[in-house]
Chains A and B, each alone.
Chain A
Amino acid sequence: MIASLSEVKSKLSEFIRISKSKGEVIVITVDSVPTAELKAINNVDRQLTDAEVVMVKSFVEGFRSKLSKQEPFSAVELIQEGRR
């Protein structure tokens, strides 16, 4: 994620929350030039909450039903094709 210094100054708590929950590095720009990074420490092993587990399940089921009528295919071939 990229954010300007003024954005980070005005929403620092929000950027820290994003970085902590997702392990995301925030690249801070000064005059549109990437200048510094903001990142949380030891955030990669956070456990999902009950609400997040439910959200993930719901998203998966909903999206799977959208793809249930597609023609048969091979995911490995599809991904390999993209990597060629």
Chain B
Amino acid sequence: MKFILDASVYISFYSPTESRHETAKKLWSLCPEREAFHVPQIFTLEVLSAFARRQVDLESISEQESFINTGPKFTLHPLNPQIMATASTIIKSARLRSADALYLALTHELQGTLLTLDNELIHSLSRKDSRFEFNGLIVDPIKA
């Protein structure tokens, strides 16, 4: 099983004062400790941007960048034509933001499981007007 990690879980996992920190820890622990999370390349920028807007110091942000980009816990997936085409189909089917669609596209392509705290994302593909046949799973944190 491949686990795709949404940036919201990552930020919350590191932040004891975040409102769903304990849930994020639970979601993180679903991935065996010897396995890497799979993320779209945009993940690094989202994390850095979120920490920067939280006024985290620049040295720590650079540590995060290095940990994600060159450490063993993350496999970054480039936005190749296949991922982009799937994301495009998802956007048209479920009317999502581009970054949300990239996470779902990667999950679909890897036939993996998406870990996210974002309710909008969790329920996006089960909306009545969504016509995309999703080839992955999304963990509902309430049931995790």
Contact = CB atoms under 8 A, between A and B. Distances in A.
Interface of A: 18, 21-25, 44-49, 52-53, 55-57, 59-60, 63-64, 66-76, 78-84
B36 A75 contact: no
Nearest to A46: B36
A75 B76 contact: no
Contacts, number: 120
Interface of B: 2, 6-9, 11-20, 24, 33-36, 38, 46, 49-50, 53-54, 56, 60, 63-64, 67, 69-73, 75-78, 97-100, 117-120
B76 A74 contact: no
Contact of B117 (A22, A53, A75): A75
Given A56-B33, A72-B18, A67 B56 contact: yes
Contacts of A67: 14-17, 54, 56
